[in-house]
Chains A and B, each alone.
Chain A
Amino acid sequence: MHKPVTKISFNPKVKRLTVEQFITRFQPIYPEADLQAYANELGLISEAVAPEAPPAIPSLVDGAECWPPKGEEALTEEAPATSSKTSKQKGGKK
Chain B
Amino acid sequence: MATLNEIICATNIKNTGFGECVIDPGKIMGAIRVPRGKVYTQAELTALRATLEADRLAALKANRIFPIHNFVGVTDNSEDVVFETLEYGSQKPVRDGNYRLTYRYTDGALCLSNALQTHNFGGLTSWLFYDDKDLLLGWRKLDATGLAYGLAGIPCVFHALKWRQATGSTSPIYSVYFDFDPKYFNKYLGFVQADFPLNEITGLQNINLSQSGASAAGVIKLIAKAGCDGANLYPLYNGQLDTPTAWTAINAATGNVITIDSVAVDANISGFTLTLDDADADYPATSGGLVTINLVDPAALDALDVSGYEGIAITTTRG
- A residues with CB within 8 A of B: 2-3, 5, 7-11, 13-14, 25-26, 29-30, 33
Contact = CB atoms under 8 A, between A and B. Distances in A.
Nearest to A6: B264
A25 B277 CA distance: 10
Contact of B263 (A2, A9, A13): A9
B268 A5 contact: yes
What does DSSP make chain B's interface, helix, strand, loop or mixed? strand
Contacts of A26: 262, 275
B260 A30 contact: no
A13 B219 CA distance: 17
A3 B264 CA distance: 13
A5 B266 contact: yes
A7 B261 contact: no
Nearest to A10: B262
B250 to A, nearest CB: 16
Contacts of A30: 262, 264, 273
B268 A2 contact: yes
Nearest to A14: B261
Contact of B273 (A2, A5, A10): A5
A10 to B, nearest CB: 5
Contacts of B232: none
Q: Which of A8, A9, A25 gathers the greatest number of chain B CB atoms within 10 Å?
A: A9
A6 B267 CA distance: 10
Given A14-B262, A29-B273, 7 more contacts: A7-B242, A8-B242, A11-B261, A11-B277, A26-B262, A29-B219, A29-B275
A3 B263 CA distance: 16
Contacts of A7: 242, 264-265
Contacts of A2: 268
Given A2-B268, A5-B273, A26-B275, A11 B260 contact: yes
30 contacts: A3-B268, A5-B265, A5-B266, A5-B267, A5-B268, A5-B273, A7-B265, A8-B262, A9-B242, A9-B243, A9-B244, A9-B262, A9-B263, A10-B244, A10-B261, A11-B244, A11-B259, A11-B262, A11-B277, A13-B259, A13-B261, A13-B277, A14-B261, A25-B261, A26-B275, A29-B273, A29-B275, A30-B262, A30-B273, A33-B264
Nearest to B277: A13
A8 B268 contact: no
A41 to B, nearest CB: 13
Contacts of A33: 264
A13 B265 CA distance: 19
